[in-house]
Amino acid sequence: MTPVGVADAPEVLAGPDHTQLPDSDGAMVTNFQEFPLSFLLLDCLQPILKILFPDGRYAIGQDAGIYWRLTDPPLDGCKAPDWFLVIGVPPLLDGVGRRSYVLWRERVIPLILIEFVSGDGSEEHDRTPNTGKFWVYEQGIRAPYYAIFDADNDRLEVYELRDGRYVALTPNEYGRFLIPPLRVELGIWHGRFLSMELPWLRWWDNEGNLLPSSDEYIEQEKQRARRERRQAKLEKQRAEQAEGRTEQEKQRATQAESRTEREKQRAEKEKRRAEREKQRAEQEKQRAETAEENSKRLAEKLRALGIDPDAV
């Protein structure tokens, strides 16, 4: 990807580098939310950055100075956004950790600058030429995107540089702002982070899913693992129940088969008994017929002898 916002200077200007310029103006952080905010923004965006820029050429500044012009004293030409991202530069410079970002040497303009309002917001909206933050970010640094987050008033403004001027963007239906080069949305999330229930500045992917922090991702993975274990347990129980039902069906089938066999045996016994009864009946019939024939022959013999058989 081509670095966003390459400065117009035809060559690197002579002058001090980040190791020679002051890296602090001595000001203290004005509230306890600023550092967690900066960390949360970086932590949640890191996986997306690794996907979009696998070469690792991006640098993130947190309350670090951006030197945008040479001045005497040097800090008059420096502004320190609470959070900013530069695409197309390495996180280290010549193997050394960056102490500041020197625009006249890097010649790559930061993609987005973010300020966390700690007062009434006038400092972040200051358009005073050469000194006001808004003016410097718009006319001096010329960052494509500038965001102002007012946690106390639950308010987020995002500006896009168009024709050399910042234009306030309109949030989508969810109150978030699309940052196309990063394929993410920036918005306000209400929840608990580091034991603080506050409005937080967060990122969402282009499908509207909140990008999780490392801790949230770990917790999601734990919950997913628990769900999978519960699902596996349910599947095992269902399998055992199905196996039990199969065994019961098998037992019922065996019992039915046994009943059928017993009925068959009883039917065969009844058949044999019926056959025996039939045989006995036939034998009795034969005996009766034989006895009747014998009686008839006897009667005929008696008649032949002149004896009336009926009178005997």
Between 13 and 246, the more confident residue is 246
- Per-residue pLDDT band for 8 (boundaries 50, 70, 90) equals very low
What is the model's pLDDT at position 284?
Answer: 84
The torsion angles phi and psi of 27, rounded to 5 degrees, stand at -75, 145
What are 182-215's pLDDT values in tens digits? 999 999 999 999 889 999 999 999 899 999 999 9
Is residue 3 pLDDT above 70, yes or no? Answer: no
**Residue type at 264 in one-letter notation:** K
Burial of 34 (0-12, 13-18, 19+ CB in 10 A): middle
Half-sphere exposure of 197 (CA within 13 A, CB side): 0
- DSSP assignment of 206-255: TTSPBPPPHHHHHHHHHHHHHHHHHHHHHHHHHHHHHHHHHHHHHHHHHH
Residue 59 β-bridge partners? 86
Q: Note the pLDDT of residue 260.
A: 87
> Is it the case that residue 113 has pLDDT exceeding 60?
yes
For the chain, give the mean pLDDT: 88
The pTM score is: 0.71
Residue 77's closest CA among 105, 102, 107?
A: 102
Q: Of 165, 205, 167, which is closest to residue 157 (Cα–Cα)?
A: 167
Would you state the structure tokens that stand for residue 33, as one six-digit string?
Answer: 């939310």
DSSP 3-state of 67: strand
- CA–CA distance from 293 to each of 288, 299, 301, 306 (Å)? 9, 10, 12, 20
Nearest-CA neighbor of 189 among 202, 206, 175, 174?
Answer: 202
Residue 11 has pLDDT above 80, yes or no: no
Is the Cβ–Cβ distance between 2 and 104 less than 8 Å? no
Q: Would you say residue 171 has pLDDT above 90?
A: yes
Q: How far is CA 10 from the centre of its chain?
A: 46
Q: Would the CA dihedral through 184, 122, 5, 105 be positive or negative?
A: negative
Pairing state of beta strands 101-102 and 66-67? parallel
Please give the share of the chain, as a percent, with pLDDT higher than 90.
Answer: 58
